[in-house]
Amino acid sequence: MKVVGRTSETLMLTNALKSKRPELIAVYGRRRVGKTFLIRNIYKNDIQFEFSGIHRASMKHQLKNFHLTLSARLSGFPRPADWIEAFSLLSQFIDKLTSKKKKVIFIDEFPWLDTRKSNFLPAFDNFWNSYASKRDDLVVVICGSAASYMIQNIIKSKGGLHNRLTEKIQLLPFNLQETEQLLKNNNVRLSRYDILQIYMAMGGVPHYLEKIQPGESVAQVLDRLCFAKDGFLRTEFDTVFASLFDQHDNHEAIIRTLASLRKGMTRNEILIKSKLQTGGTLTKTLLELEQSGFIEKYLPYQGTKDSLYRLTDEYSMFYIKYIENTRPSDSGVWIKIYGQASYKIWSGFSFETICIKHIEQLKEGLKISGIRSLNGSWIQKNTENNAQIDLLIDRDDNVINICEMKFYNTEYAIDKNYAQEIAQKVNAFCSETKTKKSIFVTFITTYGLVQNQYAKQFAQNELTMDHLFIKL
């Protein structure tokens, strides 16, 4: 299979093969995002030893697996009693390799190997510092789904690996352009409107997208993967968090809490609603979810100094809203959901989240990529009916784009009531923030606006879903 996107990551990995120094590369990102696939594809002819941790296996079983893997490459090695011995055997194996080309050592699911009292990490520190770092012909790649572990113990290490990494790669889910390209490569021909609906349900996780078959409609895809009794995405929610976090109930509680509101929540609001304990537990859990890409921490525009958190994982939102509350059935489920009034609310919120994720594409569409800007959200203070702006772009060229995002199955028509709402929102924003900048109301829709009197009056900029698919 061909690698889609991942341009900068591919360049980084290939340059490591060309360098004249030893390379230690950390790759991290959530499960199913394509870490192992990328590394194997780029280094398919150069991996001399590949080994993977086993989820929740004992040190004894991890070492047994290591020994079996090493013995499959070259026989005659004794079974190691601990990780110091294991890495000593790996050093002996490398010494026996005759190729003068650069050699890749790939350790997958690295965090799973660091079991309690195993001393795995100090042993790896020793392997790198006393052996591998002295060989110009080695690329050591360590990979892990537990992003928080990789960041705290490897990237920000204060121990033996402090400042030892030569490169680090955070592998993120695909954006819409990459999603479209992957589907095309798999001969899946869907309209951009349909791709958006798919993205709303499963995000840009490559492993999920690979499950889509040519000739399937959106309804058929979602019925099969999400709502059938044995659908792959029907049970994925629990699997994802259980494999990433030890106390995953806390992580799921926060995800569910954030999914319950259409706006960001403060730490204290999350604490009260999730009923989790205060202190280190909450702080650690929020950080782990943020580092793993499930939630985002941000500051509102000219608002409170308290940070807000919002859920950014499309699949989690979709699972909580629809999958877990729907009885399994092989067909007809999505069509029923699509016709419900709740779908309009959910799809509108999901579309807003996707637009915020694709802010760089939107800026390119507005032709302001070269202008320094800050994006954020704004909620009116101390009023009963708080005006709310989910996305604004504050630009250095004396302009603020107030973005209105509408997901609709045809051109969107601004009516009199909505026009009044926009006017009130802009007036409230200008009054409270005291801004002197020009305000451009910017509409981001699926198919554009109906060109009526209100569109001409209020829409200074128009973008469509096509702009979300821009290749940067």
The per-residue pLDDT for range 236-293, each reduced to its tens digit, is 998 999 989 888 999 999 999 999 988 889 999 999 999 887 767 888 899 999 999 9
* Closest residue by Cα to residue 87 from 56, 55, 125, 141: 125
Q: What is the average pLDDT value for the chain, to the nearest integer?
A: 95
**C-alpha distances out from residue 122 to 114, 153, 260, Å:** 10, 11, 42
The per-residue pLDDT for range 147-183, each reduced to its tens digit, is 989 999 999 999 999 999 999 999 999 999 999 999 9
The per-residue pLDDT for range 44-76, each reduced to its tens digit, is 999 999 999 999 999 999 999 999 999 999 999
The per-residue pLDDT for range 362-375, each reduced to its tens digit, is 999 999 999 999 99
Would you state the torsion angle of the CA atoms of residues 78, 84, 86, 92, taken in this order, to the nearest 10 degrees? -80
Are 35 and 145 spatial neighbours (Cβ–Cβ below 8 Å)?
yes
The CA distance from 163 to 255, in Å, is 33
Task: Report the pLDDT value the prediction gives residue 330, as an integer from 0 to 100.
Answer: 80
Residue 388 in this model has a pLDDT that exceeds 70: yes
Residue 352 in this model has a pLDDT that exceeds 80: yes
The CA distance from 45 to 358, in Å, is 35
Please tell me whether residue 457 adopts helix, strand or coil conformation: helix
Task: Report the pLDDT value the prediction gives residue 304, as an integer from 0 to 100.
Answer: 64
Rounded to an integer, the average pLDDT of 220-236 is 96
The secondary structure of 421-442 as a DSSP string is HHHHHHHHHHHHH---SEEEEE
The CA distance from 225 to 227, in Å, is 6
Can you list the domains of the chain with their CATH numbers? Answer: 7-170 (3.40.50.300), 174-357 (1.10.10.10), 360-468 (3.40.1350)
Taking CA 393 as the corner, what is the angle to CA 307 and CA 355, rounded to the nearest 5 degrees? 80
Task: Report the pLDDT value the prediction gives residue 277, as an integer from 0 to 100.
Answer: 74
**CB atoms inside a 10 Å sphere around CB 370:** 8
Please tell me whether residue 34 adopts helix, strand or coil conformation: coil
Are 28 and 170 spatial neighbours (Cβ–Cβ below 8 Å)?
yes
Q: Which of 338-342, 393-397, 419-423 has the lowest mean pLDDT?
A: 338-342
Task: Report the pLDDT value the prediction gives residue 456, as an integer from 0 to 100.
Answer: 96
Would you state the torsion angle of the CA atoms of residues 183, 185, 191, 194, taken in this order, to the nearest 10 degrees? 0
The per-residue pLDDT for range 409-446, each reduced to its tens digit, is 999 999 999 999 999 999 999 999 999 999 999 999 99
pTM of the model: 0.94
The strands making up 295-298's β-sheet, listed across from edge to edge, are 265-266, 308-311, 295-298
Taking CA 154 as the corner, what is the angle to CA 159 and CA 53, rounded to the nearest 5 degrees? 115
Residue 360 in this model has a pLDDT that exceeds 90: yes
The secondary structure of 106-130 as a DSSP string is EEESHHHH--TT--HHHHHHHHHHH
Residue 90 has phi, psi (to 5 degrees) of -65, -40
Which residues have a Cβ under 8 Å from the Cβ of 280 and sit 6 or more positions away?
A: none
* DSSP H stretches of helix in 280-433: 280-291, 314-318, 333-338, 341-357, 359-365, 416-433
Rounded to an integer, the average pLDDT of 110-126 is 97
Residue 303 in this model has a pLDDT that exceeds 70: no
Q: What is the largest CA-CA distance in the chain?
A: 82
Indicate if the alpha-carbon torsion angle 171, 177, 178, 180 is positive or negative. positive
The per-residue pLDDT for range 132-144, each reduced to its tens digit, is 999 999 999 999 9
Residue 38 in this model has a pLDDT that exceeds 70: yes
Are 33 and 42 spatial neighbours (Cβ–Cβ below 8 Å)?
no
Q: Residue 134 burial by CB count (10 A; 0-12/13-18/19+): exposed, middle or buried?
A: exposed
* Closest residue by Cα to residue 231 from 328, 319, 324, 313: 328
Taking CA 204 as the corner, what is the angle to CA 203 and CA 209, rounded to the nearest 5 degrees? 95
Task: Report the pLDDT value the prediction gives residue 275, as an integer from 0 to 100.
Answer: 85
Give the pair of three-digit tokens for residue 133: 């770092």
Give the pair of three-digit tokens for residue 449: 């606006």
Could you tell me which residues are beta bridge partners of residue 399? 438
Beta strand 138-144 with 103-108 is parallel
Rounded to an integer, the average pLDDT of 333-338 is 94
Give the pair of three-digit tokens for residue 160: 């033996």
User: Which amino acid appears at position 346 of this protein?
Assistant: W
What letters, b where the CB count within 10 A reaches 16 and e where it falls short, cover 435-463?
A: eeeebbbbbbbbbbbeeeebbeebbebeb
The CA distance from 462 to 472, in Å, is 19
Rounded to an integer, the average pLDDT of 448-464 is 97
State what percent of residues in the chain have pLDDT above 70.
Answer: 99
Are 173 and 33 spatial neighbours (Cβ–Cβ below 8 Å)?
yes
Top-confidence residue, 383 or 464: 464
The per-residue pLDDT for range 304-334, each reduced to its tens digit, is 678 899 999 999 999 999 999 999 988 899 9
